[in-house]
A and B are shown apart, each in its own frame.
Chain A
Amino acid sequence: MASLSRTFRIQKRDFTNAGNASISVKKLLKSLNLSACVIRKVSICGYEGEMNVVMHAATDGILAFELTEKKIFLTVSDEGPGIEDIETAMQKGYSTASDEFREMGFGAGMGLHNIRENADSLHIDSTLGAGTVIRMEFNPGG
């Protein structure tokens, strides 16, 4: 099986299209008959990564998806503001979301936690003022 990749632009503060990249990835995985379990994991991680960009990023971001024979790679990147302390940000319940977003049901401090729970492998690089890259890997078999 050849590698299959897609790239989606995520616009900051764009709630109209927020989630669409993840929905496209989900539909693609479903059309390829991947397991419900892996579709669930990728959907949750894609959505949370996407919402992080919509709510927090200083500029637009990118969600990149790649499916190879052995792995699914999902990478969400933006150009700032960066995460000051990744360990703190990973804690369940910790959030820097605004009151406006909290009222919409976001900012519960569960996004990165959900990603950690569902990605088979997770690596976050973040530099204050420069940006954040969240790299996630999944085993297509499960």
Chain B
Amino acid sequence: MNVKELADKLGLEIHAGKQAADRDILGGYTGDLLSDVMARINPGTAWMTIQTHQNIVAVAVLREAACISITGGHRPDRETVERAEKENMPVLLADDNSFDLCLKIADLKVL
């Protein structure tokens, strides 16, 4: 499943980085401590976080995440959107909290 398919199935807005939404999702991770995320995610991860500042894009790019999903109804900073566009990193927005979003992804039975 790719990022666009995930967003479509769950009704998530792709707020930035649409041009890279055909990237395949190979796994998922939920975390808000950036060093933890750096150390633990693998390429192709759909990363769920409540962090909204631009440094999340650097982490996602360095670890080749498939996308960032900002959960809990939080909205990214303007700089985050600009950086995500520049680095081709899809940023999805979810009103669900991270746990509920993970449950919905699990229900899709695609990972």
A residues engaging B (CB < 8 A)?
15-16, 18-20, 22-23, 26, 36, 40, 43-44, 46-48, 51, 104-106, 108, 110-111, 113-114, 117-118
Docked complex Cα distance between A11 and B13 (Å): 34
B contact residues around A117 at 8 Å (CB): 39
Docked complex Cα distance between A108 and B58 (Å): 17
Task: Report yes or no: A23 in contact with B61, Cβ–Cβ below 8 A.
Answer: yes
Docked complex Cα distance between A19 and B87 (Å): 12
Docked complex Cα distance between A36 and B34 (Å): 20
Docked complex Cα distance between A106 and B32 (Å): 9
Q: Separation in Å of the B63 CB from the closest CB of chain A?
A: 7
A contact residues around B19 at 8 Å (CB): none
Task: Report yes or no: A104 in contact with B55, Cβ–Cβ below 8 A.
Answer: yes
Q: Separation in Å of the A43 CB from the closest CB of chain B?
A: 4
Of the listed residues B54, B55, B87, the one surrounded by the most CB atoms of chain A closer than 10 A to its CB is B55
Docked complex Cα distance between A118 and B34 (Å): 16
Task: Report yes or no: A114 in contact with B38, Cβ–Cβ below 8 A.
Answer: yes
Task: Report yes or no: B35 in contact with A111, Cβ–Cβ below 8 A.
Answer: yes
Task: Report yes or no: A36 in contact with B43, Cβ–Cβ below 8 A.
Answer: yes
A contact residues around B35 at 8 Å (CB): 48, 106, 108, 110-111, 113-114
- Known contacts: A43-B63, A105-B34. The answer to whether A15 contacts B54 by CB under 8 A is yes
Docked complex Cα distance between A113 and B35 (Å): 9
Task: Report yes or no: A18 in contact with B43, Cβ–Cβ below 8 A.
Answer: no
B30 adjacent to chain A (CB < 8 Å): no
B contact residues around A26 at 8 Å (CB): 61-62
B contact residues around A44 at 8 Å (CB): 38-39, 62
B contact residues around A15 at 8 Å (CB): 53-55
Docked complex Cα distance between A23 and B64 (Å): 10
Docked complex Cα distance between A20 and B59 (Å): 10
Contact indicator per residue, chain B 50-80, by CB within 8 Å of chain A (1) or not (0): 0101111111011100000000000000010
- Known contacts: A110-B33, A114-B39. The answer to whether A104 contacts B51 by CB under 8 A is yes
Chain B, residue nearest A48 (CB): B35
